[in-house]
Amino acid sequence: MSAPRRLLLVNGPNLNLLGTREPAIYGSQTLSDVERIATDAAAARGFDVRALQSNHEGVLLDAIHAAREDCAGIVINPGGLTHTSVVLRDALAGVSLPVAEVHISDVMKREPFRHHSFVADVAIVHVIGEGVPGYATAIARLIDVITGQADG
Query: Residues marked as binding for substrate?
Result: 77, 83, 90, 104-105, 114
- 26 labelled catalytic: yes
Region of residue 41 (phi > 0: left; psi between -120 and 50: alpha; otherwise: beta)? alpha
Tell me if 83 sits within 8 A of 118, measured CB to CB. Answer: yes
- 103 labelled catalytic: yes
Binding residues: 77, 83, 90, 104-105, 114
Amino acid letter, 91: A
Buried b (16+ CB within 10 A) or exposed e, 37-64: bbbebbeebebebebbbbeebeebbebb
Widest CA span in the chain? 47
- Which entry of 56, 65, 103, 126 is annotated as an active-site residue? 103
- Give CA–CA dist 35/33, Å, rounded: 5
User: Helix or strand or coil: residue 120?
Assistant: coil
Q: What residues are annotated to the active site?
A: 26, 103
